[in-house]
Structure 1
Amino acid sequence: MAPAGPKPNFVEYQDEVAEAGDVARKIVKLVDSGVALSEIAILYRTNSQSAAYEESLTELAIPYQVRGGERFFERAEVKAALRLLRGSAVASSEGEVRSEVVNVLESTGWALLKPPSGSGAVRSRWESLAALVALFDELAAVAPGLTMRAFVDELDERRLAQHAPTLEGVTLATLHSAKGLEWDAVFIVGLSEGLMPISMANTDEAISEERRLLYVGITRARRHLTFTWSLSRTPGGRGSRSASRFLDALRPKSAKATVSPKPSRGLATCRICKRPLSSASERKIGRCATCPGGADIGVLDQLRAWRTLTAQATNVPAYTVFTDATLQAIAEIRPSTLEDLAKISGVGPIKLTRYGSELLALLYEAAFAFGRPGERLAATTRPSSKISPPQTPQGSRLESAPSRQRL
């Protein structure tokens, strides 16, 4: 007789950001208890769900690997798109760059506003090229004036990063790509109606296939199994979602889901106009995409140069030191203490310890050269670098810089 599977936990969250953040914190606790990083997996229904978890793991310096993601830049349609975009970058005009990106992609027969119905190869091709447009929108939100050349350079950097050495890390994977694999601890996330079962499943046969797919995920766990879902997509959103109907048959009627409390930091709002921030890119820089940032280009250039040298010295991709969005926020806010620096999205406890004092020193020197009115006077006092040391999981595995790996 086969042994019984692990007793599952059920957790409900206010929004996807809170869900991803708490899953990352639970993983830290698992590592503390002795579970190896390579024995932990986060499983989801669609590839688009991975972004929030990649961000939350990076925030806590947890290495991870995206299973199945390695083929993105090897797909025929993506390779062809990159060749066309490089050619457009060479002969780029001064027109609107996003329109140029869309026009280049539509020259291949793809249509941004006409996604194909159903699934399969045609839908997969459309989603691949749509992901390139979505990436441009994300980058342009934090770097107004993004050129075609800069966009192509970013794509090439991400393509090359996929060939970085593999390291032990948490596995992120779709339920489809998890078939045949097992882990000690499995988090099946995003289990809300519309995602599980997927909204396109509108026949009895399709619903049954979705149920079988969830069963695949359940049977991947050896010792720990957690189901999670959120009531809304973004912080402050209307909580109109409900848990997947499939969970009704998995938990006893007497068992209630753990309702995660709202994060104590509250809803993220723009530091300028105080409007709630809805997108990940806006939360990253701490302001609306339409509000002026006020970053001095000289300070931002110095931060980018420092990041390049730091990445070369440690032999890691530049974005694993800090992303463009985090550097943009640092250049705009110009923190003078580690406490202020720690408040910026993307500056977790590990990165604060590793880079904090060096960044403050750089900003201190930049205040003389690029200071706003009053900053040069304030720069006569060096910034404080005293802060309580962050708590990290036992052992050294989480003390190394995180990398976005593609298996």
Structure 2
Amino acid sequence: MMFSSLLSRIAWNPYYATSPRRHSMTRLKLPTIITTLDGKFEMEVNEWCSAVTKDTTEWMESQIDFTRLRRKASHAGSASNGQTMEEERNGEALDSRVIPDIKPSLLAALAFPFADYTQLRVCADCLQWMFLLQWWAFEGSLLLEYEENSECHASDTSVRASSSQLDDLQSSNTRNIGEGISKLLDSVLTRIPINFVGQICSSLIAYCERLSLQSTRSPEISENETNGSKVITDALRQIETLMTLKNAIKPANPSAFPWSAPFCALLNYAYDFPERQEGRWFDEVKNVAVDILQWTHDMLSFTSALCSSSDPSRRVDHYPSFFTSNTLLEVCKSQRRRATLFSRFDLTSPSLDNLTIAELQQAVDSLGTQILQRIDQLQALRPDDTEKEEKKRYWRAVACLVAGVLHWSFQTEFYFRPSSADFREKGEKEISF
């Protein structure tokens, strides 16, 4: 109840759009991760959650005008419903696009509940920028098509703009949003203390490199390369330049976990932890937490890809799926061939074509069991009252990080889109297979 009440108080940020599949639907049962989690860890919410949500939203809107993209999505909805521009202006249009409620600031407040306002604000802005970059690279710039046509019809329905005029408008919109994303990144990076620049920037590089890899690999996204890939490339160059200017040291191999790396870096910043804690216990706590975060993301992002649109005109299905290291598929592979568990291979692997719903359900169950085992392992690592305060503080921060990120994953629409409430009620996810 507390969590539902909190969600209702957070402002809705309709800056992310996608479309659901409508064919060959079946049900996939997901493991009871949250139920197990709630029985072991307390979920905390940062007291600055509402203030940071408001300030982060205003910060983002100060650099990027989202009114066109909102209006553009509305035009797409009115067109599909046979509504006129006049009906839409009168507020009668229904948006047929699914606009997920991702809440990056809430994610920060749940993941870092004991950070002060300044630290939480940097964490929230960083996460907001990450999701904004991801959305723009894979989906946002595709919406410009609707805006261009809508601009022309709104000005004079009897006159069609020339192709060059449309190109100029698209170029202007793309450039403005790309510049806004760059300014937001600069704003975040300049607020990071020098002793945390290397960790956070390296985790963002890992994040961007993963996005870049998928944007060039996917044939559906290649059409959007000039818009999406360019802003990723620019962000990489911007981050690397800052690291060079500040002589920041890049940690070893941060790209192995592109989803969990930013959370680990921000955790150290939020609580002023050193990059490496001395002692085997600290490494074990961190590694267990990384496994939980990464494996849960892999499972949810892969299955979310099976919920997305089958319409080829959409080109991009469901962007969290472009960020997985595909642990779930490897579980399927190991079940068939007794191969090495958790070695990575691509979403376009032929094994995906032969995957049956029974194999997928078995893989989800198997990976879910391993996630639950890691949760038990993290609980077992909890220091007792006789341990040093440093250990107790670190464990509590990591436990809150895991609980916060997982609650956010299952409660918001990043993975589940409009079916999040349905999943919480039934524990099942409708997928296209």
What is the TM-score when the length of structure 2 is the normalising length? 0.24
- Structure with higher strand content: 1
More helix by share: 2
